[in-house]
A and B are shown apart, each in its own frame.
Chain A
Amino acid sequence: MDLSASLIPGPDYMGLTATIILWPLGTALFLLLFGKRLSTFKVGGREIPWAGVIAVLTLLRSFVAAVAMFVDIVGVELAEGAVGHGGANVENARTFTVHMFDWMQVGGFAVGADFLIDQLSVVLALVVTGVGTLIALYSIGYMHHDPRFHRYFAYLSLFASAMLMLIFGDNLLVTFVGWEGVGLCSYLLIGFWFERPAAATAAKKAFIVNRIGDFSFLLGMFLLVAAVGSLKIEDINAAASGGQISGGIATIAALLLFGGAVGKSAQIPLYVWLPDAMEGPTPASALIHAATMVTAGVYMVARMGPVFLASEGDLALTVVAWVGALTALWAALIACTEYDIKRVLAYSTVSQLGYMFLANGLGAFSGGIFHLITHAFFKALMFMGAGSVMHALANETDMRKMGGLRKVMPITGATFLLGWLAISGIVPFAGFWSKDAILAAAWEQGEYALWGIGLFTALLTAYYMSRLYLRVFEGPLKHDPDVHPHESPWTMWVPLAVLGGLSVVGGAINLPWDLRLEHFLTPVLGEFEVPHGATAWILAGVALCVAVSGIALARFLFLTQRGAELRARLVTGSWLDKLLTASRNKFKVDEVYEATIQRPGHRFAMFSAYKVDAKGIDGVVNGAGALVAWLSDGVRRLQSGYVRNYAALFLLGVVVLLSALILRVGPLG
């Protein structure tokens, strides 16, 4: 396509895209090569390493570029009735393609290093760079004692670059490069403290589980290339909504793509890597395993919406919705009994991602993206709050050893409170609006079972987050006697404060009565039906009541004397106790995977290594050698060293050859 036509009279999208994606990449390379030599400088008696400052400034630069891009896009006049996902034939005037270079050309099949700039990608770029900047700033405080400080920031920058490439990818291959890039960075950051065996194992687990999903994603891409002949998202979506690919193919392709999303976004059955990923540094968990990377699957499903919508009998969407809803419930159940604060947050992330997939599965793609954004705010906030607690308590993560910390860490406590209210779904915090939008969409479509699961999960969410917050920050002060809890430095609490503010007002981007975000995204993601009038109010009221009861239940159980007695009496025998024990054991999913996949795989590997390889293959090779050795052992006796023996054999040979010649050819002459 003609590049200049799409760029003129618009602003320099090529330059902006390059800035957003390539600056973090350049910073990552620079820090990897020279980071060790960078020194530190002092601000207010505190050592601040240059490596961190460079990374923060780079991400800030990307953020500013993303803001500029956003402003430009908003400035573009939109034609009347532009609805995405094949809803209308009006062109989305806010779509721009940036062609960097031709990547490969095989026959008629071409893939370019192309980047797609539209409402969806810009909004997500804002989230990634914005939250990323805050988390990088926080990391300066959190990681300042680490000997591999520069490497951490190199990985963080590399992650930002890969994530942005994923978001801006104009074809699935560019997206896939980013997809693998974030997987790599996730691996590197989970295993950042690779001296600890748990961290190294968790990193491998995350990588391998993601591999399963990535394989599915690849298969989906192959199928789409075969069916559509192009990897351009635009072409695929047009073909899907235009009916050029059959419903059956679309179903398989959608489910294969969803398989990739299941791996990356930690859904049933591939969610098991995310809780273990908490072995990594906490800010990395906040950025990668809460705010951005794990939402890549949600983004991808929303982006490829038409393929899912083209599925035969809505099968693909139904699968997405049910997997999302069940994951939300499942992870919430586990989160209710987890004692490790980071793991509670991890299961909570899995659960909230389930909500996003529920929204996607209902066709309410912008609802999923809305929850993605608000979740990025409050979950990053809570992860960093947990990091702040760990920082103060010498890396303690067991909430049973904490209590009343708000008295010694007022800012962390207050901001965590905001995040807690946001995720619990208390009005008017951000999480209330986005969760309500998803539940309302489920109700409106008559999916009452999904709505019920979502609502019950909301109850559990309010309960386990309250349990976390109340045990850690409220009640009497409690911590190990040999640590001295203290508020974190400004580099850490400033991001907390900013995200705390966003957790409060973040819902304003898509209030039910003006739906600004949804309308902004409609040209890309299409519309979905939401209830109006009394139904909407009643649904919101029900959700609010459920959230309040969850909080009240947790408050009763963990802050009152009678609650404590009740908990003490619950310990033996009852069905609830059994459920709690099962939940505490994480429903033994890891054990089941170990028994059904890991151990047979291990046995197969051992069989291959020690039987097939050592005995079979090596046996053939060694056997050939042994045979030759055995034969030559017999034959070498001929080499007697006596020259007359040789002469006799020589003569014998001549006689044999001549006789053969005569017998075959006949007598000479």
Chain B
Amino acid sequence: MSEVPPGFYLALAGLMFTIGAVGALVRRNAIVIFMFVELMLNAVNLAFVTFARMRGNLDGQVLVFFVLVVAAAEVVVGLAIIVSIFRRRASADVDDVNLLKW
């Protein structure tokens, strides 16, 4: 059984990133945006791992661990913020949170 070529993985990563980016821009629910952001992060992770495989070293894999750790921390902070916004406004719609502007 032949190997899946790396280009496929990269194409998948690109597709996932695009879906994530578009989703993060078009959706209003903070939780959903959050999930799209996670999707973008994982697309990047997939790209990193593919690159590591293509170059035959571990640099990409190491970077993935960093991304995972930072993403975990980010999820903790982000969810806390979303929960706190929801408590105040009974809504997680990001378009409702627009006070900080000109």
Contacts and interface: CB of A to CB of B under 8 A. Distances in A.
Given A648-B25, A651-B21, A643 B94 contact: yes
A628 to B, nearest CB: 15
Which one of A636, A637, A644 has the highest number of Cβ atoms from chain B below 10 Å of its Cβ? A644
B25 A643 contact: no
A644 B94 CA distance: 8
A640 B94 contact: no
Residue of B25, B33, B99 with highest tally of chain A CB at under 10 A: B25
A517 B85 CA distance: 105
A652 to B, nearest CB: 10
The 6 closest A-B pairs by CB, nearest first: A641-B101, A641-B98, A636-B102, A639-B102, A643-B94, A639-B101
Contacts of B76: none
A637 B101 CA distance: 8
A575 interface: no
26 contacts: A636-B102, A637-B102, A639-B101, A639-B102, A640-B101, A641-B97, A641-B99, A641-B100, A641-B101, A641-B102, A642-B94, A642-B95, A642-B98, A643-B94, A643-B98, A644-B24, A644-B25, A644-B26, A644-B28, A644-B33, A644-B94, A644-B95, A647-B24, A647-B25, A651-B21, A651-B25
Nearest to A638: B102
A185 B52 CA distance: 90
B7 to A, nearest CB: 12
A637 B28 CA distance: 21
Interface string B25-41: 11010000100000000
A322 B21 CA distance: 97
Contacts of A644: 24-26, 28, 33, 94-95
Of the four ranges (under 10, 10 to 19, 20 to 34, 35 or more), the interface on chain A belongs to 10 to 19
A651 B37 CA distance: 12
Interface of B: 21, 24-26, 28, 33, 94-95, 97-102
Q: Which of B99, B100, B102 is packed against the most chain A CB atoms within 10 Å?
A: B102
A644 B26 CA distance: 8
Nearest to A668: B51
Given A641-B99, A644-B28, 19 more contacts: A636-B102, A637-B102, A639-B101, A639-B102, A640-B98, A640-B101, A641-B97, A641-B101, A641-B102, A642-B94, A642-B95, A643-B94, A643-B97, A644-B24, A644-B25, A644-B94, A644-B95, A647-B24, A651-B21
A601 B102 CA distance: 50
Question: From DSSP, what is the main secondary structure of chain A's interface residues?
Answer: helix
B62 to A, nearest CB: 19
A51 B24 CA distance: 90
Q: Which of B97, B98, B99 has the most CB of A within 10 A?
A: B98
Contacts of A643: 94, 97-98
Contacts of B101: 639-641
A644 B30 CA distance: 10
Contacts of B26: 644
Contacts, number: 31
Contacts of B102: 636-637, 639-641
B31 to A, nearest CB: 14
Interface in A630-656: 636-637, 639-644, 647-648, 651
Contacts of B100: 641
A640 B79 CA distance: 23
A464 to B, nearest CB: 81
Contacts of A648: 25
A647 B95 CA distance: 13
A639 B98 CA distance: 10
Contacts of B97: 641, 643
Nearest to B54: A669
Contacts of B99: 641
Interface string A468-503: 000000000000000000000000000000000000
Contacts of A636: 102
Interface string A250-291: 000000000000000000000000000000000000000000
B21 to A, nearest CB: 6
A651 B94 CA distance: 18
A636 B102 CA distance: 6
Nearest to B27: A644
A115 B79 CA distance: 88
A642 B101 CA distance: 8
B32 to A, nearest CB: 12
Nearest to B22: A651
A609 to B, nearest CB: 38
A648 to B, nearest CB: 5
Interface string A109-122: 00000000000000
A636 B101 CA distance: 8
A270 B25 CA distance: 83
Nearest to B101: A641
Nearest to B24: A647
Contacts of A639: 101-102
Nearest to B40: A651
Contacts of B33: 644
Contacts of B95: 642, 644
A66 B88 CA distance: 95
A643 B25 CA distance: 9
Contacts of A637: 102
Nearest to A654: B21
Nearest to A640: B101
A643 B97 CA distance: 8
A120 to B, nearest CB: 81
A555 B102 CA distance: 92
A639 B95 CA distance: 13
A564 B98 CA distance: 100
Interface in A184-233: none
B22 to A, nearest CB: 10
A4 to B, nearest CB: 83
Contacts of A640: 98, 101-102
A636 to B, nearest CB: 4
Contacts of A651: 21, 25
